[in-house]
Structure 1
Amino acid sequence: MPDFCAAYGCSNRRCLQTRQRGITFHSFPKDGERRRQWEVALRWKNFVVTNRTMICSEHFKAGDFDRTGQTVRLKAGVRPTIFSFPAHLQKVIRTRTTATSRRADDCLSEPNEPGAAGERCKEQKSPATDHAYGLPACPKYIKAKLDAASARIRKLEREKSDAMKREMRAKECIQSLLKELKDKNLITEELNDDLERYSDLPVHLLS
């Protein structure tokens, strides 16, 4: 299954084309606080990180990378900062500096479902719901799972079609052989009729 970038509006996935463009993919930090910083930076609502969640290099600054080794790595402590958010997510109005206003800003900065932009946050986040256990995973991860399932279905359909073609060729071969034996008077009419009845059976029943 290919790795997709989890950033808002980004369609990059790990493949030959992105590798040729110099795009690299990086996993979320294992440290809880740093991972939380990355989650907040993405501004996904109800975002749940998995072991397969990746962010591509286009969302980091040039100075965030360590290119001294054979592989491109991120420097310690960096986080993604380059995104293409829509206007309603970029605009952040701060009129108060209390803890309540900060929680409201965090809520309004998260992408909502279509038609929900501008709604007030009706519930405050609590430590028990910060991890959002049981909530839907990243949309790109779900899309990857659906793509894999679709590919599996297409493969099974091709295998079924190939099997039907092989069965058709086998039946044609049997019919041709019977005709040849009959033309050479090597079988009787009665035996030929019996064999023709068997030739209509599925090939796997004759094996």
Structure 2
Amino acid sequence: MLSFHSFPKDSELRAQWLLKIRRDGFTVTTRSRVCSRHFETGEIFVSSSGKRCLQPKAVPSLFHWNNFSKKTERPGVWERRPRPVDTVAMVTVDYNTEDENDVSDMPITGCTESAPASIPLIEDHDYAASPLIVVDRIKYETMSREIEELRRQLESYHLTQGFGLQRCATSPEDIRYYTRFPSYEHLMAFWNLIQEATSRMVRVTSGQKSLSTSTSTESPVNRPTKLLPIDELFLFLNYLATGCTQRELCHKFNIHRATVSRILVSWPNFLYTLLGSVSIWMAPGRVRANCPADFSGTYKNTQVILDCTEMRCQTPSSLLLQSEVFSTYKLHSTFKALIGMSHHGALTFVSALF
């Protein structure tokens, strides 16, 4: 009858066990066991509860390499060390790996007379081996279908959870609603113009912190953020197009509200600095060549259509500021601006706010 025994807690006795077992790279865990076949009969006794136990100072000593007997001495280092031979031997090894606590020499059979010396290898017991593997095919196919279905649901869940540009790329209506660009191609054409400059974008909060805590004259570059730069642009355009609150944006893009605030402050300054240096006025000859038919004749020399507009703002607490921003036309506080439009209605110029 076989029984399995855990390693002793005493460090010295455990070291003796490991020395006798002779397994390189072996680490003792709470689940490591040594079977009773490696102990002498007198070292095992049956307790009053019927449990097979070891004597307090028992050490495993019976192994395959000593033929499970203390009388057989272990071969010396010279006999155990492999040496090269002139003829290549055909070696057949047959073993299983059920018991990880048994160390022995594997039987090696060669087809030549000058076979190399035997090498101590691991041989495990075969009492737990089973020649048959029974598989319930119906259950296996059902579980395979469930796994595939769960995988598809997980992919769909990831797509629906993440709100970004890629989610709306295939829908022209969504692109126009969330960005006010005519199509995804127009948006990507604009992105290709500014993409290279985004690597040098200075976050407003980072810049202010750097100026207040450092005397360096170098501008701090942007640090890695949770959103990709193109998704940050999409968030900013979404904010301008839909007028949603920062709380809504932080839930949509699954980021902190402070991160949304930093994006909404940094991107207007970045785009103003970047695009403000670009000449927006076309040559008069090109304007006339592309002028719509409605402007031919009396208005053929039109270069730009100018108009003024007002945008509502919060009422300041100062009475002096209230008098400066109050609009008798809108009957509330506004900022005034001069805008310029091309012939087909696109805004090409916006002045500073007054």
TM-score for both structures, normalised by structure 2: 0.22
Higher helix share: 1
Instruction: Please say which structure displays the higher CA radius of gyration.
Output: 2
